[in-house]
Amino acid sequence: MFVLGLTGGIGSGKTAASDYLASKGICVVDADVVARQIVEPGQPALAAITQRYGADALLADGSLDRAWLRQKVFAEPAERQWLESQTHPRIRQAIIDQLQNASSEYAVLVSPLLFESGQYQLTQRTLLIDVAEDIQIARATSRDQNDEQQIRRIIAAQMSRTDKRAKADDIADNSEDLAHLYQQLDQLHHTYLQLAQA
């Protein structure tokens, strides 16, 4: 299976891009979705988080309080490292399982931490959805109701835009409207179909 790794910073438009490729019949495995699945009630990762942080980490219904945990781990790097040690191996295995079950001409692995987490090693080619940081901040604050400082902390914790651009095989600019993004994705999709068949 030819696997495309799709990445970009917060607010860059990864979901718009992956939704468009999914509309072409391509199987999309989203690392963020997998990350939510592995911390659902009854999952070992949630048990480990609860053991470390107690009831503070949970909502009234027993599910993970993501907002509380996000603030905790972005404020304390050692806690983020601990959390990643619990979640990343489980996320990786679930991603591998889902990619192996893909039945489209190629598959897409969407991950904001594609390079940082080593998930790019599961792919044959990588695509960066790229926008300037000021656009990221504007889009992410309007979408997520996060304050600007929180968005800046998330951006600072991720690989720099310059480094991502250097590592990516392909780059789609998403600083304009969706039509502009889709035009680039159409050309890339054609290339990926050819590579998958080769």
Asked whether residue 12 is marked as a ligand-binding residue, the answer is: yes
Asked whether residue 50 is marked as a ligand-binding residue, the answer is: no
Q: Are strands 3-7 and 27-30 parallel, antiparallel or unpaired?
A: unpaired
Tell me which DSSP letter residue 83 carries: H
Asked whether residue 16 is marked as a ligand-binding residue, the answer is: yes
Asked whether residue 63 is marked as a ligand-binding residue, the answer is: no
Asked whether residue 57 is marked as a ligand-binding residue, the answer is: no
Full strand arrangement of the beta sheet holding 3-7: 27-30, 107-110, 3-7, 125-130, 170-173
Tell me how far CA of residue 142 lies from CA of 52, 80, 137, 152, in angstroms. Answer: 32, 25, 8, 14
Residues 6+ away with beta carbon under 8 Å from 166: none
Tell me how far CA of residue 29 lies from CA of 9, 62, 127, 192, in angstroms. Answer: 17, 26, 14, 16
Asked whether residue 14 is marked as a ligand-binding residue, the answer is: yes
Length of the chain, in residues: 198
Q: Are strands 170-173 and 125-130 parallel, antiparallel or unpaired?
A: parallel
Tell me which DSSP letter residue 160 carries: P
Binding site members: 11-16
Binding site members for ATP: 11-16
